[in-house]
Amino acid sequence: MRPSKSDLGRSPKWNAGIVERWNEGLVADSMDNHRLSKTVDLIARYYDACKVGYVGHEGYRKSTDLVKFTRCIDELSRLGLIDPNHTLFLDLGCADGRVNVLMSYFVKLSVGIEIDPEILAEYNPRKKEIGHKLLRANLIQPMDNIVLFQGNSLEAATYKQIESKVNVKFNQIDLFYTYITLHDLFGAKIAAEAKPKALYLVYGFSKILPRYQGLELLIPDLASQGIVALYGKGEF
């Protein structure tokens, strides 16, 4: 799950914090790393088993394939693009928070926004159930860095609420994520308002990839899972 030291040596300067973390001895040893892998796998399979068709207040519900998405997280870690000490993550349509739970192990702060309150209400009971499963398996509980908000990901009022609660602004987020629904509107917002070198993961693409003015396509098929493309803002 972690990058090799040679990979870290090739990481860009703006990801130097990962090297520092390694040198400080804070990266898990091989035994803990194996435990983390088992934790992530249990979480992914639990949530993937909860996929159902659902029509909410804002339309048809879609769910990320977390088993495949874990491979994408592996690749982001290997490339030094996410760091548990520094990365601020935002899911722009988090549903029941499943991606936020998974990402909580790999980022400093895992924020989610969901417009449908009925779907968002599933977060706590499912997180409680997965917590019991992890406890019985002697695995790692989700981190306490998950914060979810009910609101519209395109409205300024939502980000004022986020800033008020966790003291993080839109232009401080390092990694954005969305299912392909509303991807173009989110892409435009990121291009206009996100900080330089912010990353944008778009799930659910086909063979024809979307393009966003002001964003660069960095990896057309992250981790060769056929589910996620990675974009970035600025020069890379």
Q: What is the mean pLDDT of residues 7-14?
A: 34
The structure tokens listed for 136 are 């019985």
Mean pLDDT of the chain: 86
CB-hemisphere CA count at 13 Å for 42? 21
Q: What is the pLDDT of residues 103-135, one digit of tens each?
A: 999 999 999 999 999 999 999 999 999 999 999
Question: Residues 213, 219, 220, CA angle at the centre, nearest 5°?
Answer: 80
Question: 24 CB contacts (<8 Å, ≥6 apart)?
Answer: none
pLDDT band at 146 (very low <50, low <70, confident <90, very high): very high
Which domains, ranges and CATH numbers included, belong to the chain?
Answer: 5-233 (3.40.50.150)
96, amino acid identity: D
Flag the least confident range among 8-17, 72-81, 120-129. Answer: 8-17
* Model pTM score: 0.84
pLDDT recorded at residue 61: 66
> What is the distance of C-alpha 213 from the center of its chain?
22
Q: What is the pLDDT of residues 20-68, one digit of tens each?
A: 333 333 343 444 689 999 999 999 999 999 876 666 555 556 789 999 9
3 state DSSP class of 196:
coil
For CA atoms 19, 20, 24, 27, the dihedral sign is negative
Q: How far from 223 is each of 71, 117, 226, CA to CA, in Å?
A: 6, 33, 8
Q: What is the pLDDT of residues 152-163, one digit of tens each?
A: 999 999 999 999
229, amino acid identity: A
Give the span between the Cα atoms of 95 and 117, in whole angstroms: 9
Q: How far from 124 is each of 101, 118, 139, CA to CA, in Å?
A: 11, 12, 19
